Amino acid sequence: MNSLILSVGARFLTGLFLLFSLFVLLRGHNSPGGGFIGGLIGAAGFVLYSFAAGVEDARRALRVDPRAIGVWGMAIAVLSGLASALAGLDPFTGLWLILADLALSTVLVFDIGVYLAVFGAILTLVFALEETV
């Protein structure tokens, strides 16, 4: 697409989208947000970039094959579910590690997995569609 406004704007917007997607991911546990919607927002950033600069450039900017991102996301989500076996609890039970004010949990790890899985899957689909059209 040959639009100067889009191609200049996309460079800034993609970064902004990614930052905002991380914010949404991390606030997800106690407020509206989470890995799924975060992954969508992050993917939207790269989709915008691919519209402006072409799929090839977007793939290069991503550096990693989006399919691999998706599969690693799935792996992380499954592993976070398996972690509760070590504590002798049911699968996918949340485990919490409270460090002063910071609460870390396997739930967050699961959400990060979801984020990556959604991010990778959406980009795989959109890139493939853009390349075939």
Token digits of residue 95: 């485990």
Query: Is residue 101 close enough to count as binding another protein by CB under 8 A?
Result: no
Q: Which residue's entry shows tokens 């799935």? A: 74
Q: Which two tokens stand for residue 9?
A: 């704007």
**Residue 66 C-beta: closest distance to another protein, Å:** 13
For another protein, the closer CB: 63 or 101: 101
Pairwise CA distance, residues 30 & 70, whole Å: 25
Tell me which amino acid residue 98 is: I
> Least Å distance between CB 118 and another protein?
8
The verdict on 103 binding another protein (CB under 8 A) reads: no
Positions touching another protein (CB under 8 A) are: 30-32, 36, 67-68, 71, 74-75, 78, 81-82, 85, 89-94, 118, 121, 125-126, 128-129, 132-133
